[in-house]
Amino acid sequence: MKLLIFNGAPDSSVSSISHKIIEHFRACFQGKNVEIAIYNLAENRLPVLEIPFKEIPENVKQMITLFSESDVQIWLSPLYHGGIPGSMKNCLDWLELTSNNPRPYLSSQIIGLICWADGVQAMQGINNMDSIAKALRAWVLPYSVPILRKDLLIENQLNPAYQERFSLMANLISDTKNLTENKKF
């Protein structure tokens, strides 16, 4: 199984929230025959989508290949002003280049959603990502993880309650992917 973890946060440093979450998922999938790719938006500055398409930048082509070749994705995002960061949405908008492919957009991929916010509004980001994922023809996992940022870390480590939620998401992704691969649904 090819898993893509899409970090839509503008900070991908080793001290960032997203980095800590990514490392937890790496541990969850270790030894489970899962090929993990990480796409950090902060490290891959994409140009603003421009239609009609002119020359497609190389970093956009690489992003599209990475997103198109995965089987499963986990999207991580902070909440900014009621939604995901505009740069994250712009990245996903570039998938329009796949519209004429035999498997356009994110067709039949399974996506887990995680969002954190300073207040209790992280579900707004989850709902925002859910709408986008479904518009891109993906299957959104019926379990998501909204995070109250102040409760996520204890002494700079992930709160065990959130570790449990992330582990549950990892297990659901594995189970769901196994079912779809074996046509047992």
What digits encode the pLDDT tens for the residues 52-83? Answer: 878 899 999 999 999 999 999 999 999 999 99
* pLDDT score of 54: 81
Q: Where residue 184 falls among pLDDT bands split at 50, 70, 90?
A: very low
pLDDT surpasses 70 at 144: yes
Calculate what percentage of the chain has a pLDDT beyond 90. 82
Q: Where are the alpha helices (DSSP H) in 30-148?
A: 58-69, 86-93, 122-135
Output the pLDDT for position 102: 93
- Per-residue model confidence as pLDDT tens digits over 108-119: 899 999 999 998
Whether the link from the prior residue into 52 is cis, omega within 30° of 0, is yes
Of residues 177 and 172, more confidence is placed in 172
Tell me the mean pLDDT in the region 118-122. Answer: 91
Higher pLDDT, 174 or 129: 129
Label residue 178 by pLDDT band (50, 70, 90). Answer: low
Is 170 a residue whose pLDDT tops 60?
A: yes
Q: Which single residue is written with the structure tokens 């957009």?
A: 105
Band (15; pLDDT cuts 50, 70, 90): confident
Give the per-residue SS3 of 11-42.
Answer: CCCCCCHHHHHHHHHHHHHCCCCCEEEEEEHH
Q: What is the rounded CA–CA span in Å between residue 96 and residue 156?
A: 39
What are the residues facing 37 on neighbouring strands?
4
Helix (H) or strand (E) holding 111: strand 110-117
pLDDT for the residue numbered 127: 97
pLDDT at 120: 86
Cα–Cα distance measured from residue 20 to residue 26, given in angstroms and rounded to the nearest whole number: 10
Q: How many CA atoms lie within 13 A of 176 on its CB side?
A: 20
CB 46 within 8 A of CB 12: no
